[in-house]
Amino acid sequence: MVMQRTFVMIKPDGVKRGLIGEIISRFEKRGLKIVSLKMVKMSRDIAEKLYDEHKGKSFFEELVNYVTSGPVVCMVIEGDDVVQVIRRMIGNTDPKEAPPGTIRGDYALSKSENVIHASDSIEKAQREMSLFFDKSDL
């Protein structure tokens, strides 16, 4: 048993398309615990920090514009081996490769607008959580 916490964000397309309840419900039904939750309109500054690793890539500007285009729903989720469990529940970045039954496999419409983000390591989870939540929320 390896209890972990991860950071998950429903992206603007997921919020606009009314998928918040469906997505949170999948995590709850899987027995994962929602530790903290909030809807925010992200600033460009935070978006650039969140996607720091993609700075300089061709899609960086498009990515920052997209994640700041409307509200997102941020959450911290706890569970056994939760970083890997949630990455598997989300599916591949490109919805063409995401298996049916995964969140992106079922709902994502394109590689850039792909409904949801989740941290891919414990270290990233810590960093991303701290961009959106105060210590006292966690």
The yes or no reply on residue 93 touching ligand ATP (CB under 6 A) is yes
Q: Are 127 and 118 in contact (CB under 8 A)?
A: no
The yes or no reply on residue 86 touching ligand ATP (CB under 6 A) is no
Tokens representing 8?
């998950």
Classify residue 119 by its DSSP letter.
-
Among 15, 117, 128, 132, binds ligand ATP (CB under 6 A): 117
Dist CA 43 CA 46 (whole Å): 5
Shortest separation between residue 36's beta carbon and ligand ATP, angstroms: 18
Dist CA 115 CA 93 (whole Å): 10
Using CB under 6 A, which of the segments 15-23, 41-49, 112-120, 126-134 binds ligand ATP? 112-120
Among 68, 112, 127, 131, binds ligand ATP (CB under 6 A): 112
DSSP strands (E only) in 11-64: 33-40
The yes or no reply on residue 122 touching ligand ATP (CB under 6 A) is no
Binding mask 2-41 for ligand ATP (x = CB under 6 A): ----------------------------------------
The yes or no reply on residue 120 touching ligand ATP (CB under 6 A) is yes
Dist CA 81 CA 135 (whole Å): 22
What are the start-end ranges of the H helices in 4-81?
A: 12-16, 20-29, 44-50, 60-67
Binding site for ligand ATP (CB under 6 A): 59, 63, 93, 111-112, 114, 117-118, 120
